[in-house]
Amino acid sequence: MVTERLEVQRTIHATPSSIFRFLSDPNGHVTIDSSGMLMGADGDVVTGVGDTFIVHMDREALNDYPLGLYDVIVTITKFVEDREIAWTVAGVVRPSIGHVYGYLLEPVEDATLVTSYYDWSSISPEWKEAGIFPVISEAALRATLGILGRSVTRTNTVS
């Protein structure tokens, strides 16, 4: 069976609302990126489905395609406050190829179980056959959760 979705989980010792606030902020995405591709972001904190922001990218971090510096438009596709946020990305290729990134947040005792997912099951056969998915590995998703945990914990301690 061909995998078209990656999912990783980690328990983070923070409330779902503090994690969700971090994930709703375009700069939060840059802060927690483990791939090294996200260079900066422009846009307001997202508040619902259809909201967008710009992320400045550098594909050289992956050393797979010579795209250099470029921008992508992140469009929120799921927004359930303190529970789930997901988005698609339209970049050099427009409209979006259709791959989705997201987070599910589930309260557990004194913490939040965070599931990070990356789903490319809805992309066109042309892109599936291109053999470039997944762009981000399971290890990178897992590392991003570690950075998210550290970042949210530090933010809660400092503020």
Model confidence pLDDT, tens digit, residues 10-40: 999 999 999 999 999 999 999 999 988 888 9
Selected from 3.40.50.620, 3.50.50.60, 3.30.530.20, 1.20.950.20, the CATH number assigned to the domain covering 5-158 reads 3.30.530.20
φ/ψ of 125, rounded to 5, equals: -55, -35
Is the Cα torsion angle 84, 20, 69, 51 positive or negative in sign?
A: positive
Three-state secondary structure along 29-53? HHHHCCCCCEEEEECCCCCCCCCEE
How many Å apart are CA 37 and CA 66, to the nearest integer? 12
Percent of the chain at pLDDT above 90? 65
Mean pLDDT (the chain, rounded): 89
Select from 79, 123, 131 the least CA-distant residue to 102.
Answer: 79
- At residue 156, the pLDDT reads 63
- At residue 94, the pLDDT reads 61
